[in-house]
Structure 1
Amino acid sequence: MLTGKHILLIIGGGIAAFKSLDLIRRLRERGAEVTPVLTLAGEAFVTPLSVSALAGRKVYRDLFDLTDEAEMGHIQLSRVADLLVVAPATADLMAKMASGLANDLASTILLATDTPVLAAPAMNVRMWQHPATRRNHAQLSDDGVRFVGPNDGDMACGEYGPGRMAEPMEIVAAIEAQLAGGPLSGKRVLVTSGPTHEPIDPVRYIANRSSGAQGTAIARALSALGAEVVFVTGPADVPPPEGVTVVPVETARQMREAVEAALPADAAVFAAAVADWRVQGARDQKLKKSKDGLPTLAFEENPDILKEVSHLGAGRPKLVVGFAAETDDVLANATAKRQRKGCDWIVANDVSGGSGVMGGADNTVTVIDEAGPESWPKMTKTEVAKRLAARIAEALN
């Protein structure tokens, strides 16, 4: 898919810069031409010689290079590529991009370009979660910059959490999706998936039988149509798709926080099976058997994420899609749920004992919108996802 495509790769200054070497190799394996731009901080982690050897091209480093700037090199570099990729996109680079600063070659190229930009953030977890970075991320998303990652994982500093740069093959998949020019190119879509786990004590929790397969298939199908997908997933049985931003969570409250952080978006698909209730005052220590009888568990309601997003004001996605997993009176219950939640569409399915939907490979759904229900025949969850993604693309365009 990348044969003949020209990628301008900006390598920021972070330990994740070493992954940029593998990224260059992977891109060239697929026929892409890669022009590297190495920041001064990036040189502390990878050498210009190693980058140049893998790219097979000159490495651009200095804004005030007399030879290059005699021909307005930063302008030419910003215009000749099919896609600008920033990997790693450090907190500093993201701040410069969001503020329109241009005090080195990389930031000047990014300000002078009218070419699409894909960024792969990489930084310490606290830097990623800092309000300033969150504001910059939101601003850049509004400006049309697409993101892949960051992922959760161990940091070089010894901490754990979101901030790891996406793996090279994830970035390649995102580049391919971006350049495919699909009907959702330039659109940002939020997808929730999987169950939530609500703790009773440190070793027990309340959950449901959702495998996360349908939500994962939807995220993959939307990405294949060119969308930038933020994938918020509970503890699923299936691995997340490549080429999307994965945000793993455990509880409903964590999912709500992740959804809020992922907005704004053009569309939101709430395929997660979020627990309606959680245990009030979950114990810090394991509950023990007692001669006094069984323990009493009190419950309280979890946040209604679908309803909250459906009733947002200016920040509401153009299209909000909910799911209704029902065991009886499927159509009536799902129709009532759509009215109650305020979403645009509800995807209803029968998850009763004999249906085999939860944990299975197939699904039978009915899509309900303001025009009424549209029943689809039984098909694989992958086929359901592709058909739903196509419908979403049509609605957004």
Structure 2
Amino acid sequence: MQYRSDRKGTKLSVLGYGCLRFTKENGKIDIDKTEKEIMEAIRSGVNYFDTAYVYGGSEAALGEILERNGVREQVYIATKLPHYLIKSKAGLEKCFQEQLKRLRTDHVDYYLMHMLNDVQTWQGLCAKGVDQWIREKQASGQIGSIGFSYHGNSANFKELLDAYDWDFCQIQYNYLDEHTQAGREGLLYAESKGIPVIIMEPLRGGRLVQLLPEEAKLLFAEAVPKRTPAEWAFRWLWNQTGVTVVLSGMNSLEMVQQNVQVASESKAGELTGEQMELYEKVRQEINRKIKVGCTACGYCMPCPKGIDIPGTFRCYNELYTGSRKAGKKEYLMTTAFRKKQNPASGCAQCGKCEQHCPQQIPIRQKLKEASRELEDPRYKFMSFVVKHLRIWQ
């Protein structure tokens, strides 16, 4: 494993463990499977684990696994404050203490303001005493480094970096998002200020692997040296000196082992001009066919009508980036073949989802578009059969 240092000189593994996508069975995290994967990562040198208050069950699962294996002091825990749920300083303290309890620890190494996207929001938090509370927690040792996770444009990102003496920050960044959200401009600005940058969504929620257009897959397949699409995506990030840690939502031993191998070999400045041109060609192929820039982060959920919004967009994009037959089949299986059907056409247009979407996707409009293409006569017939003949209940 390779390591890059934060502002305090702490060496962080260049590969971090994103804890949002732990494997779940019947809505609950598969703790035994997750334990095997986390312990494999730790044995391989991964020492940065990223979770959040709103990642259902994630903090508790991570805390339990670290405690029962006696490895809490071998790793750094990063978790996030859901500031959008906080109404007072007392509420802030209550939330933090609940997080400590879930994580079975007395301190958080890296604490983030979750989805802090503009200076005005930060100023509002300061008015509630959050900045003073942070200083108190850092003085007591209950919080190590303070930062924020960000979804927004580069201009607002730079303003936020200047608004407080942050220890680190976290942005969505990958070769497809090079010039969107904080983007390369934001990354370079953070680097100029000596602020470590943690990268989330390096594979765009898997889009840069499973849902690549066939033409893009072919470009990677013909490239030299031979690398998987995931490896190309990771190496693009580690090629940049401003990137400190790249998070990966690993949920299989094979994924852990493969990512660790790539992280152990990748170095800044290693990519050639020809290889950088390859990324541009792949990017052009992706943008030519993609319909919705959803990363499957799940912030739009739950939908009041039970619609699986990320799942719907995954199937919709599959129509154009992969197989139309596969996209329609998956949509049918995941929306119609269930006791309570949840097609995109059931959207109530409430707009709740759009208030929380980091990608600022016009979800209601895109659900309409997806419904028009996915819910064809065959879908409607099969949905009717399942519902009225109760063959799936």
Structure with higher Rg: it is 1
Q: Which has the higher strand share?
A: 1
Q: Which has the higher contact order (CA 8 A, sep 6+)?
A: 2
Structure-1-length-normalised TM-score: 0.30
Q: Which has the higher helix share?
A: 2
